[in-house]
Amino acid sequence: MSNCTFAFNSAPTGSGVFAITGGLLMRNSIIAYGIGGGAAGILTGTITLSCCDIYGNEGGDWTGSIAGQLGVDGNICEDPIFCDAPVDDFCLQPESPCAPFSPPNEGCDLIGAHGVGCSGISSAEDPSELLVPRTVALGPGIPNPTAGRTSVTYTIPRSSRMTLGIFDVSGRLVHSLVDGWREAGTHTIEWSGDTHTGGRARPGVYLFRLQMADAAMSRRIAVLR
């Protein structure tokens, strides 16, 4: 496998890649934000990686069948810095460590399936603000990852009806935090880790999603247990 991007996939074993038997060679590929098992696994045989970025997978990154390969042959564990993953834009921002011949993988060409460039935004801009008025802002969850409570700060430029909720990566609403009229300004709200049914959110990757009539923003949050 060469120049592949596996992101936000879910499987109990090998959330990014899993082979039954034999040998698997991966080059210049990304496995990120998998839900469930470790990033890669094989039942019998070996997986050999070079110039790969394995990062943010719930069940572990450089573990199991690929343990010991981090730092070898250009392999890294760094945020790939996608342009806007919540809307399936897996191109890379210019400062991504997966960009060709970039630190800390100066010896590797492009890592992943998509090149560098984010629909006209510059590297100084936040990719989560694509198609969103600059006066609307949604901060990251703090802490992130979280094993319990986390808070998020948002700013709206005018009094308006809006929603802010927690969604899983398939787009299902997990918990509603705001649904109604809010005054202009900056607000902070806390999520306790509960679902709308009163249970606890399962470990995995979720999205804070703010929605107004003419603006929408998302931020990732990882829940641990």
The confidence band for 119, taking pLDDT boundaries of 50, 70 and 90, is low
Q: Which of 9-23, 32-46, 62-76, 129-143 has the lowest mean pLDDT?
A: 129-143
Rounded Cα–Cα distance for residues 21 and 173 (Å): 38
pLDDT digits (tens, 9 = 90+) for 167-201: 988 888 999 999 999 888 889 999 999 998 888 88
Residue of 171, 152, 29 whose CA lies nearest to 88:
171
Q: CATH number of the domain at 132-223, please?
A: 2.60.40.4070
- List, for residues 30-72, the tens digit of each pLDDT value: 999 888 888 998 889 999 999 999 998 988 999 998 999 999 9
pLDDT of residue 122: 39
What are the sequence ranges of the domains in the chain? 5-92, 132-223
Which distant-in-sequence residues (6+ apart) come within 8 Å of 52 by Cβ?
Answer: 26, 27, 28, 29, 30, 31, 74, 75, 76, 111
pLDDT, position 149: 87
Task: Give 104's pLDDT tier (boundaries 50, 70, 90).
Answer: confident
